[in-house]
């Protein structure tokens, strides 16, 4: 992937190799509640502060030249939280969708949703549709917000769609491949994440992009999401660029087995 001149200069200034950027970065934004608790504040304050981090990391990703950024904002399991927190999160999301619209347009970022969009409250869905529609033709970066998202739900949904097509003889079951499944995921036509970041130190996936994470490079930081800084993000991308990705192969051998 060739980056643009403006990105290249920015990357070089920050010690990043513009020719080795991850195409897709995915983040489990965790620790808002603990951040608030530490400060003797209501959990909602943590989510509010977390939305400021979202703003800065989206802008930074765009400057670096990352093409796909996926943020885990609300899981299928998060519906089981106290109603007061769910309502506060939905209100915050709605405010974010309205306040960020201009910036997203200016920065030519397409806002996309992965997850059960239909489960969101009607007023949130309305703002979502407007933002998605107004940013649809933006090509510099895709910002995927994972909302009411669950990896298992996504795979189950894909299996159902494929089964229906097979039953209706639209596809032949014998021709079903991994690609068929990819084509029925929310991330259709997107590359798999190269980088997965989880803040707050938890060592788990929490049902996030179970299919797509097959070969993601994983970075777990103890920093709570509201405290996650631009510098830490850059450090992670730099660390990623120094890792050797093998994809199950041997590093110094070519496919015929000869040593290089």
Site string for ligand IPE, 194-213 (x = CB under 6 A): ------x-x-x-x-------
Site for ligand IPE in 143-202 (CB under 6 A): 200, 202
Q: Is 112 a known active-site residue? A: no
Site string for Mg ion, 22-61 (x = CB under 5 A): --------x-------------------------------
Determine which one of 30, 32, 107, 112 is catalytic. Answer: 30
Residue 204 binds which one of ligand IPE, Mg ion, none, with CB within 5 to 8 A depending on kind? Answer: ligand IPE
DSSP code of residue 174: G
* Candidate list 42, 78, 134, 180; residue touching ligand IPE; CB under 6 A: 78
Contact 240, 195 (CB under 8 A): yes
Determine which one of 13, 19, 32, 78 is catalytic. Answer: 78
- Least separation, in Å, of the C-beta of 78 and Mg ion? 9
Q: Is 78 a known active-site residue? A: yes
As a whole number of angstroms, the distance between CA 59 and CA 55 comes to 6
Q: Which is nearer to Mg ion, 18 or 31 (CB)?
A: 31
* Candidate list 18, 22, 33, 226; residue touching ligand IPE; CB under 6 A: 33
* Candidate list 28, 69, 113, 190; residue touching ligand IPE; CB under 6 A: 28
SS3 content of the chain, % helix, strand, coil (to 5): 50, 15, 40
CA distances from 171 to 76, 154, 211 (A): 30, 20, 22
Q: Which is nearer to ligand IPE, 180 or 207 (CB)?
A: 207
Strand partners, 111: 143
CA 92 to mean position of chain CA atoms: 18
Provide the residue count of the chain. Answer: 260
The answer to whether residue 100 forms part of the interface with Mg ion (CB under 5 A) is no
- Least separation, in Å, of the C-beta of 151 and Mg ion? 16
Phi, psi of 74 (to 5 degrees): -160, 125
As a whole number of angstroms, the distance between CA 243 and CA 167 comes to 45
Using DSSP bridges, classify how beta strands 68-75 and 24-28 pair: parallel, antiparallel or unpaired.
Answer: parallel
Helix runs in 16-150, H state only? 32-38, 43-64, 83-99, 101-106, 122-135
- Least separation, in Å, of the C-beta of 30 and Mg ion? 4
* Candidate list 10, 68, 72, 228; residue touching ligand IPE; CB under 6 A: 72
Q: Which range, of 31-39, 91-99, 159-167, 215-223, touches ligand IPE by CB under 6 A?
A: 31-39
38: left (phi over 0), alpha (psi -120 to 50) or beta: alpha
**Residues forming the site for ligand IPE (CB under 6 A):** 28-34, 72-75, 78, 89, 200, 202, 204, 206
Active-site residues: which are they? 30, 78
């Amino acid at each position: 992937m060739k980056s643009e001149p403006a990105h290249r200069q920015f990357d070089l200034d920050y010690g990043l190799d513009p020719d080795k950027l991850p195409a897709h970065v995915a983040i489990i934004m965790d620790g808002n509640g603990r951040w608030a608790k530490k400060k003797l504040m209501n959990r909602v304050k943590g989510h509010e502060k977390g939305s400021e981090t979202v703003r800065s990391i989206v802008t930074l990703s765009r400057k670096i030249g990352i093409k796909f950024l996926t943020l885990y904002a609300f899981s299928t399991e998060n519906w089981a939280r106290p109603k007061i927190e769910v309502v506060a999160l939905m209100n915050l999301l709605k405010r974010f969708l309205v306040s960020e619209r201009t910036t997203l347009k200016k920065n030519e970022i397409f806002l996309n949703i992965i997850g059960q969009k239909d489960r969101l409250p009607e007023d949130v869905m309305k703002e979502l549709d407007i933002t998605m529609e107004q940013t649809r033709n933006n090509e510099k970066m895709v910002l995927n917000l994972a909302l009411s998202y669950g990896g298992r739900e996504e795979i189950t949904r894909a299996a159902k769609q494929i089964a229906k097509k097979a039953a209706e003889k639209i596809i032949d079951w014998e021709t079903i491949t991994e690609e068929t499944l990819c084509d029925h995921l929310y991330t259709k036509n997107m590359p798999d994440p190269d980088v997965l970041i989880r803040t707050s130190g938890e060592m788990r996936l929490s049902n996030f992009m179970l299919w797509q994470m097959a070969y993601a490079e994983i970075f777990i930081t103890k920093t709570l999401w509201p405290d996650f800084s631009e510098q830490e993000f850059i450090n992670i991308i730099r660390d990623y660029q120094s890792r050797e990705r093998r994809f199950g192969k041997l590093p110094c051998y070519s496919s015929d087995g000869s040593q290089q």
